[in-house]
Amino acid sequence: MPKPTITDIAKALDITASTVSRALAGSPKVSQATRMLVERKAAEMGYERNVLASSLRRGVTDTVGMVVPRVNRQFFSNIISGAEAVLNPAGYNLIISQSHEHSEDERRAIQTLLRNQVSGILISHSIETKDAEAFKDMLASTGVTVIQFDRAFEGIGDLCVVNDNFECARSATRHLIESGYERIGYMGGDESSNVYVDRKAGYMAAMREAGLEVNDDYMFSNCITRDKGFYNAAKAVERGCGALYCAGDYAALGVIEYARDKGIKIPEDFGVVGTANENFTDVVYPSLSSVEQNSTEMGTAVAKAFLDIKSGKALNTDKIIIPTRLIVRDSSKRRKY
Amino acid sequence: MPKPTITDIAKALDITASTVSRALAGSPKVSQATRMLVERKAAEMGYERNVLASSLRRGVTDTVGMVVPRVNRQFFSNIISGAEAVLNPAGYNLIISQSHEHSEDERRAIQTLLRNQVSGILISHSIETKDAEAFKDMLASTGVTVIQFDRAFEGIGDLCVVNDNFECARSATRHLIESGYERIGYMGGDESSNVYVDRKAGYMAAMREAGLEVNDDYMFSNCITRDKGFYNAAKAVERGCGALYCAGDYAALGVIEYARDKGIKIPEDFGVVGTANENFTDVVYPSLSSVEQNSTEMGTAVAKAFLDIKSGKALNTDKIIIPTRLIVRDSSKRRKY
DNA sequence: TTGTAAGCGTTATCAA
DNA sequence: TTGATAACGCTTACAA
């Protein structure tokens, strides 16, 4: 037999569907007796509310969509996990879509979510997405709550949640300076992203504050992969660089491997600090100092912000900053002199 | 203004909603002229079909639910990624739920999916779920297609997709034997799971085939974490064990770290092979030999099987086996003698 | 406290 | 080829 509906329950009890609906919804305007009866019958028949019909009728859904570049990246899967932990107990469920770092996929994902009448969209933009015009257009006149996180554009959506990328880079760089390294360089990513703009600025600030000059010979952008890190480490060393703050752990890993290849001693002769605290950082040898981004916390913050907005709670900010934390491991533990 | 509906489009063009619906659905029973008109108007008004209403009316959804223990584990996030890559182009979208390794969360997740009228459930059971009775009951009389993967129970669902866990362990163990290691032990997980039952059997088979005896002193179950690996490595070494096949990479990592601590040389004095090919395996020193599970491929296989079943294609099997592949790295590269 | 009736947006059937 | 009408399962005024 097919799935039972409230009408089936109503018939079985010789009452109307509205009463059943009210009883199941926990409405106070229904007698204890009938409520019991309805609940028992519903359980007996294995009834489950049809969310489609309910949402259609109510005009709202309890579904939230999240768009990330890739789910199989630790940072994002932690965010998903954190968001779920907050959203599910609150009665919402999460649809995940991937942009695979492409604007077109991102656009499609958003459209699908919109068609599914999600009540909110939580998004971290693809690297290919350079501005938010298309995004803005799509969302126009839909009442969905939009929260951007990590990679965010100004002036779009209800709120954004980001790491303190400036401070992240600043503290890491300062740590290298204080550990006695000299001629400290920077490896970063594409500067169309707020993330790398801020990290670069943080690095520069730390250098400036210490009265050190920034040398373009030691600056590498578009350098966040293991290969690029390895490749550019060679250039950096050749040019006399003594330490690198890397805005990504994979590049930092490449640096360590280059050093190992060339017999350059880390941390004695060269210092490295990465970013993201990937799960290989305390496995690589020497272990890699890195900045923890608290990604799970970012996920819970995004979800909480969504719930707050939905419940009409005024948020006294349009930007939530998730703090980062420098974790010092062996790759930057030089004895000061 | 609120989101436009087909009725709005119909009014604007002075035709009926049925015609608009047909035009947008690409029905052949509508003139070229009106189709053009409708399409243009729809685009102009920024119309998006309301999936809720459509699904309710049609009685089917294009939504598939997936339940995994945790999304932030490489193995599962790869599976999600692989499944999405197949499902999305086919017009389906995926709702992800996590069980956090708890039966109760798993039950809730399934219920939510059912309420959302998913047309399929793709599930890898939580470690806490020891049998499939509850699962069976919930699914009774719902017509959803069920595909289990990785952790699966017999006789449930339409199909299951698993690794060749037996062969995985057998080939890894054989490799250790052929590399000249002696007194080879095993570190595995909870044997209420088909995964670890099969891997242990594979290990035993390889030993038997080589005429070697299995020594209980070198067998460790419930040992898949870094800490447990470290802890039990001590016991193993003390008891004269010469190599370990670990059914999980984290335990293997613990073994490597114990050896490093004690000055035991890997691969010269001790051999280790892990399982899962986690992304730290080629970063740890010495690099860890491991068995690649082809998780992304498992994801695509699960999704394809779902599509095949939906399209009525008869599957000539009730179990799809995803092959594994041993990747030999330094931790087991002993010169034979 | 319960019943009646209408409607959410879409699609399928039937008739024109 | 298009239109009128009903229905999917649920919720909610309003009436009783």
Tens of pLDDT along A151-175? 999 888 999 999 999 999 999 999 9
Cis status, amide bond into B267, omega within 30 of 0: yes
Q: What number is the average pLDDT over the span B167-171?
A: 98
Determine the Cα–Cα distance for residues A231 and A223; give it in Å rounded to an integer. Answer: 9
How far does the CA of residue B192 sit from the closest CA of chain A (Å)?
26
Determine the Cα–Cα distance for residues A123 and A135; give it in Å rounded to an integer. Answer: 11
Report percent pLDDT > 90 for chain B: 85
For residue range B189-237, list pLDDT tens digits in order. 999 889 999 999 999 999 999 999 999 999 999 999 999 999 999 999 9
Determine the Cα–Cα distance for residues B164 and B291; give it in Å rounded to an integer. Answer: 11
Helix (H, G, I), strand (E, B) or coil at A12: helix
B15 touches strand D (CB under 7 A): yes
Q: Which two tokens stand for residue A104?
A: 């077109």
Contacts of residue B112 in chain A, CB cutoff 8 Å? 93
Look at chain A and count its residues.
Answer: 337
Helix (H, G, I), strand (E, B) or coil at A251: helix
Determine the Cα–Cα distance for residues A231 and A257; give it in Å rounded to an integer. Answer: 10
The pLDDT score that the predictor gives to residue B279 is: 87
Instruction: Report CA Rg, chain B.
Output: 26
CA B7 to C1' C11, whole Å: 13
pLDDT confidence band for A142 (50 / 70 / 90): confident
* B182: number of Cβ within 10 Å: 12
pLDDT confidence band for B141 (50 / 70 / 90): confident
Contact criterion met (CB < 8 Å) for B52 and A98: no
Is the pLDDT reported for residue A314 higher than 80? no
The pLDDT score that the predictor gives to residue B2 is: 81
Is the pLDDT reported for residue B337 higher than 70? no
pLDDT confidence band for B143 (50 / 70 / 90): confident
- Residue closest to D5, CA→C1'? B18
Contact criterion met (CB < 8 Å) for B55 and A52: yes
Look at chain B and count its residues.
Answer: 337
The pLDDT score that the predictor gives to residue A336 is: 59
Helix (H, G, I), strand (E, B) or coil at B212: coil
Computed over every residue of chain A, the mean pLDDT equals 94
The pLDDT score that the predictor gives to residue B336 is: 59
B16 closest-nt by C1' vs CA: D3
Determine the Cα–Cα distance for residues B331 and B290; give it in Å rounded to an integer. Answer: 9
C-alpha angle B249-B251-B254 in degrees, rounded to nearest 5:
110
Buried b (16+ CB within 10 A) or exposed e, B280-313: bbebbebbbbbbbbbbbbbbbbbbbbbbebbeee
- Sheet strands side by side (includes B63-68): A319-322, A159-163, A145-149, A120-123, A63-68, A93-98, B93-98, B63-68, B120-123, B145-149, B159-163, B319-322
How far does the CA of residue A4 sit from the closest CA of chain B (Å)?
10
pLDDT confidence band for A125 (50 / 70 / 90): very high
Contact criterion met (CB < 8 Å) for B95 and A97: no
Determine the Cα–Cα distance for residues A322 and A75; give it in Å rounded to an integer. Answer: 13
H/E stretch holding A295 reads helix A295-310
Q: What number is the average pLDDT over the span B147-160?
A: 93
How many beta-carbon pairs below 8 A join chains A and B? 120
Is the pLDDT reported for residue B40 higher than 70? yes
The two beta strands, B271-275 and B243-246, are parallel
Tell me if B223 sits within 8 A of B188, measured CB to CB: yes
Select the residue from A1, A24, A58, A72 to test the B interface by mutation, using most B Cβ atoms within 10 A. A72
pLDDT confidence band for B316 (50 / 70 / 90): confident
E strands along chain A, which residues? 63-68, 93-98, 120-123, 145-149, 159-163, 184-187, 219-220, 243-246, 271-275, 289-292, 319-322, 325-327
The four Cα atoms B204, B209, B210, B215 give a dihedral, to 10 degrees, of 30
